[in-house]
Structure 1
Amino acid sequence: MMLATLVQTTRPAFLLLALSVTALAVALAFSAGASMTWWLVALVALGAVIAHACVNVLNEVDDARSGLDALTERTPFSGGSGALQAQPRALNAAAALGLGLLALVIAIGLYFIYLRGWGLFPLGLLGVVLVVAYTPMLTRLPWLCLIAPGLGFGPLMVLGSYYVLTGSYSGVAFATSFIPFFLVNNLLLLNQFPDAKADVQVGRRHLIIATSPAVALRVFQAFLVAPYVLLVALVGVGVLPLWALLGLVSLVVAIPLYRGVSTLQSPSNIPHALLGQNVVVNLSMPALIAVGLLLA
């Protein structure tokens, strides 16, 4: 029972996002002609998944301690897993798990620095800061709260993975990393709508609270359009190959999502279907671009 509870706090289904973003970084490295070994690719992917799991566990622990998860209306995409509410005795074990995962991420990062040099250190340090500070600090700073998720899964994860695989940074990888930057910012932003009233009660101050639901929805729409404009622009100027436009297939889901958000009568009551579509766009667009890069 305890083990099952701890596994739940990692939010396993959501860890696919780390794999999708890592796949994009691997494909960028492959298209740049990098010679990669399977074990290094696997370790990069494992490090990304562990980092994501660490954030999830620490968030679950913080929300359980603050009482937030007891106030939220849980959905399949927001409001926490409910694991620590069902098994409150697992709270200390979950906290230990979160710290253990953080230590493991740092250890993997130090190995990568040993392998590739200190050029990776600034990204790694910023990544650790984001992991530790997101829930207790950044959720109280509206604009940092908005961009922190995308910064972690975009420039930090894509560039960091690319550097480990190639031994250097790349303007192509940096520019492309802003595709998951916008997508993942939106993933967290839309998921904050159902929790906004509860978030106020525990001192959070994200964009929805600091401005208004209407303003936050406009930001969401802009961020939903941005990665597609960026992808077309990068292909148009020759930074990415034509096959990268395979990522546009995700518009099949993104367009209904945009329309659905545009016609919302009550922003505080986001239909589960829209939350699900947002997840699908996040998972599919980086993965499809990765496939396109491998086919090019």
Structure 2
Amino acid sequence: MRIQKHHPRVEKTGQSAARVWLRALRLHFVLPSILPALLGGVMAWAGGHPLNGLHLALVVIGVTVNHFGLNLVDDVLDYRHTVDLQIGGEKNFFTGGSGVLPEGLLKESRMLTAAALFFAATAGIGIYLAWTCGWPVLALGIFGMACSIFYTAPPIRFGYRGAGELGLLVNFGPVILLGSYFVQARSLAYEPLIASLVPGLLMASMILINEIPDYEVDRRAGKWNLVARFGRKAGAVLYGIGLVSAYGILILSAAAGVLSPFVLLGLASLPLAFKSLFILCRHLNDPLAMAPANLAIIKVHALTVTSMVAAYLIEVLIAAQAFIC
């Protein structure tokens, strides 16, 4: 039985349909899918495998539309479970869903239909790539899509059971990056696996800091993520551990020669990481004042992983120059 939501319905604001849908898709959270896909392809290229531009483009499109489906399903099911009901000035822009449902801007049925279309597109791309590149693509794709659906969908709803953070680490790190790498290389290797932990840990950190403003709402709705279970302070500690782990892997792997030394370009995001931690600790109990910290981790992820992509493009250029000479 669906819980009755006692929330005032907001009249439509006159926003264009396109703008409403863009808001529902939450584009600011989609780069964490695209960048690991690019990194996996570029790492394979730097490793001496020919780059198939079409296949790389299909991987990027596939993970993007899958993320769109995830965002829409998550929005609808959280709304049904009375999680994401805050609107306007009540909520931190980066948490609590897109807000299009409590504001009456879209219907649940339309969002679920769109999600189904996005997942169908993902499946089609995955089947094609599995047919052309090998069955591991299909295995990784099925796992990733299932996690996207059952993050909030019953009966699993692992995002409600304290496993969502780990699920995002695995899916937005190893699953996407290794899948993209395999499409190009037709094999797996430990180097992309190690590299994948960096975007994975940063994504897990992103979800942790986004759960902190929703602490009270999530507890009332029975969404028992790690922050709801253990509290805001524990969430802040886990967030810090995630950041330290990501940068630690980056530094140690470069020093050990496991990853390209140029990945240290990713340390350019450290000031933003410190900024996010400072704001988080200062405004731990103030969701609205915490918003700049939520924005900062999005920038940290984007800058760090983009720098890693650039690092392996540099390796490609160095190899090409050596070949020419």
Verify same fold: TM over 0.5: yes
SS at match of 1:125: helix
CA distance in 2, matches of 1:276, 1:7: 18
CA distance in 1, matches of 2:22, 2:287: 30
Q: CA deviation at 1:60?
A: 1.2
The residue correspondences of 1:140-155 to structure 2 (distance < 5 A) are 140-142=160-162, 144-155=163-174
Normalised by the size of structure 2, how large is the TM-score? 0.85
Listed as ranges, the gaps of 5+ residues in structure 1 are none
Q: Hey, what does 1:117 align to over in structure 2?
A: 134
1:18 to 7, 23, 33: 33
Normalised by the size of structure 1, how large is the TM-score? 0.93
**Partner deviation per Cα, 1:134-169 (whole Å, 9 max, x = no partner):** 023112211x12211121110111111111122111
- 8 Å CA contact 1:9–1:57 kept in 2: the answer is yes
SS at match of 1:69: coil
Q: Hey, what does 2:121 align to over in structure 1?
A: 104
Greater fraction of residues in helix: 1
Cα-Cα RMSD: 1.9
Amino acid across the alignment from 2:186: G
Q: Hey, what does 1:74 align to over in structure 2?
A: 91
How has the CA–CA distance of structure 1 residues 4 and 266 changed in structure 2, closer, same or farther, with 3 Å as cutoff? closer
Question: Which is greater in Rg?
Answer: 2
Q: Hey, what does 1:209 align to over in structure 2?
A: 228
Q: CA deviation at 1:183?
A: 0.2
The residue correspondences of 1:14-93 to structure 2 (distance < 5 A) are 14-71=29-86, 73-87=90-104, 90-93=107-110
- 8 Å CA contact 2:86–2:99 kept in 1: the answer is no
CA distance in 1, matches of 2:20, 2:83: 18
SS at match of 2:222: coil
CA distance in 2, matches of 1:159, 1:120: 9
**Partner deviation per Cα, 1:73-116 (whole Å, 9 max, x = no partner):** 42221122112223355221111111111111111111111011
CA distance in 2, matches of 1:238, 1:89: 51
1:244 and 2:259 aligned? no
CA distance in 2, matches of 1:122, 1:181: 19
Q: Hey, what does 1:294 align to over in structure 2?
A: 313
Q: CA deviation at 1:2?
A: 4.6
CA distance in 1, matches of 2:119, 2:309: 28
- 8 Å CA contact 1:235–1:241 kept in 2: the answer is yes
How has the CA–CA distance of structure 1 residues 262 and 69 changed in structure 2, closer, same or farther, with 3 Å as cutoff? closer
Q: Which has the higher contact order (CA 8 A, sep 6+)?
A: 1
% identical equivalent positions: 23
Question: Which one is further off, 172-181 or 116-125?
Answer: 116-125
- 8 Å CA contact 1:193–1:269 kept in 2: the answer is no
1:138 and 2:158 aligned? yes
Aligned length: 295
Amino acid across the alignment from 1:103: A
1:189 and 2:203 aligned? no
The residue correspondences of 1:260-275 to structure 2 (distance < 5 A) are 260-264=279-283, 266=285, 271-275=290-294
Q: Hey, what does 1:94 align to over in structure 2?
A: 111
SS at match of 2:295: helix
CA distance in 2, matches of 1:169, 1:10: 32
SS at match of 1:277: helix
